[in-house]
A and B are shown apart, each in its own frame.
Chain A
Amino acid sequence: MNVEISGAKIFARIPTGIPVLGDFTINETLVVSWIVMALITFLCIFLTRNMQVENISKRQAIAEMLVETANNFVRNNTGTRKFDKLIPFVAALFATSVISNLISLTGLRSPTADLSTEAAWAIVVFIMITAAKIKAGGVLGYMKGFTEPIPVMTPFNILSELATPVSMACRHFGNILSGIVINGLIYASLAVASSAILIHVNSTLAAIPILDVGIPAILSVYFDWFTGVMQAFIFSMLTIMYIANASEG
């Protein structure tokens, strides 16, 4: 039995004629991303409907709790209120990440199982970190930062600077991809196992992968739920901490 684990499906290909960028492909990643965005936005609108100052509803309590949690997350991790502007960004990052990771539970392919997604986020964060550093120390200060503590360290400093977004993207992507790979392997192996057991009973029954019912769900508690939430949390946490550190100069 062959097990095939492939990348996102490509639904349509729009030629753009731009050299490096290539064709614009409407693939599973983008479509599911849009679904995720619609879901988050719908949820936000739903939660904040009919808000009151007093006698709040459960929905409003949840909305307020989410906002307070985001505020506290950013403020506690940076220790100041200087980064309040970043709260919606971090919230968007976390929400998109966590919903993208968990949407695989519905059978859709996670947008985060495509390195393009994480690379995009990591680049945005990298640009923000760099901007914060330049803002804190000026362009010269930023350049000079690479030669510290001694000029010989410059290549390593540049490398470590570039490693930040790469490691962020790869960490997230790797965790989600490994979940997909392991889930695929488990499904396939359980199907083989169930046919091996049921072949003794009846050859038609052997075609039904009975062991695939239930058992993968237990494993998905770790590979989808835990990893999904954890990676989203780590990504947001690193984002805010890197930016906070960067602006301290």
Chain B
Amino acid sequence: MGTQDLVTIIPWTFIAQILNLFIQMYLIKRFLFKPVNEILAKRQALTDKEIRDAREAKEDADKIKAEYEGHMSSARAEAQQIISDAKKNAEIEADRMIKEAETEAHGIKSRAEADIEQEKKKAINEAKDQIGGLAMDIAGKVVEKEIREEDHRKLIDEFINSVGEAS
């Protein structure tokens, strides 16, 4: 068993070492880089997927939120509409009731006036009759003689009328 020179290039060793280097490259590629890169790619894919999912979920949530907000604002508008409608109706109703009340009051008043007028006429007439009777009694007592009823009545009426005109 000999030794080779300290500084020398042995052709076959040289060739073998070139081959060894490439074999080593293949082995490292096959047993280190390939599996690790596969794992890294998988992890990358997983992360990407999670980010994508999160983004989709956010988009969904945004959509739902927008929808909800839309609903809310339309509901608010509807409520406003209902309230203003109710107010308008109430106003119309109130107006109507006031007008009715007014007309009724008016009717009552005019009827009352008519009644009063009638009562007044009636009273006046009664008063006329009583005064006529009274006057006739008084006159009968004063003159103490029988006067013909018709002439007498005519006389009294003239008198009362003149009195009525004077009062």
Contact A92 B28 (CB under 8 A): yes
Q: Which bracket fits the contact residues of A?
A: 35 or more
Give B40's nearest chain A residue, CB to CB. Answer: A64
Number of A-B contacts (CB under 8 A): 149
A29 to B5, CA, bound (A): 12
Per-position 1/0 for B1-27, Cβ under 8 A of A: 111111111111111111011111101
Contact B14 A44 (CB under 8 A): no
| Chain A residues in 8 Å Cβ range of B33 | 67, 70, 87-88, 91
| Chain A residues in 8 Å Cβ range of B36 | 48, 51, 63-64, 66-67
Measured between C-beta atoms, what is the minimum distance from B125 to chain A in Å? 119
A119 to B18, CA, bound (A): 9
Give B45's nearest chain A residue, CB to CB. Answer: A53
| Chain B residues in 8 Å Cβ range of A66 | 32, 36
Given A22-B12, A51-B35, also A88-B7 (CB < 8 A): no
Contact B25 A116 (CB under 8 A): no
| Chain A residues in 8 Å Cβ range of B2 | 9-10
Given A64-B36, A87-B33, also A40-B28 (CB < 8 A): yes
A54 to B44, CA, bound (A): 11
In chain A, positions 141-200 with a C-beta closer than 8 Å to chain B are 173, 177
Contact B14 A7 (CB under 8 A): no
A148 to B8, CA, bound (A): 35
Interface size on B, residues (CB 8 A): 39
Contact A116 B29 (CB under 8 A): no
Measured between C-beta atoms, what is the minimum distance from A136 to chain B in Å? 23
A34 to B10, CA, bound (A): 17
| Chain B residues in 8 Å Cβ range of A119 | 9, 14
Does A89 touch B at the CB level, under 8 Å? yes
| Chain B residues in 8 Å Cβ range of A60 | 39
Give B25's nearest chain A residue, CB to CB. Answer: A92
| Most A CB within 10 A of own CB, among B11, B40, B42 | B11
Stretch in A120-128, A202-210, A219-227, A241-249 with 4+ CB within 8 Å of B: A120-128
| Chain A residues in 8 Å Cβ range of B10 | 22, 25, 27, 114, 116
Contact A9 B1 (CB under 8 A): yes
In chain B, positions 77-119 with a C-beta closer than 8 Å to chain A are none
Contact A33 B4 (CB under 8 A): no
Give B38's nearest chain A residue, CB to CB. Answer: A51
Given A9-B3, A51-B39, also A114-B24 (CB < 8 A): no
Measured between C-beta atoms, what is the minimum distance from B73 to chain A in Å? 45
Additional 5 contacts, C-beta under 8 A, given A7-B4, A51-B39, A123-B18: A8-B4, A37-B27, A48-B31, A51-B38, A91-B33
Interface CB pairs A-B, < 8 A, 14: A7-B3, A8-B3, A10-B3, A22-B11, A27-B10, A29-B13, A33-B20, A41-B28, A87-B33, A88-B29, A115-B8, A121-B21, A124-B22, A177-B6
Could you tell me which A residues sit within 8 Å of B by CB distance? 5-11, 16, 20-25, 27, 29-30, 33-34, 37, 40-41, 44-45, 47-48, 51-54, 60, 63-64, 66-67, 70, 87-89, 91-93, 95-96, 111, 114-117, 119-121, 123-124, 173, 177
Q: Which 10 A-B pairs have the closest CB atoms?
A: A120-B17, A44-B31, A92-B25, A116-B13, A88-B29, A44-B32, A7-B4, A48-B35, A67-B36, A6-B3
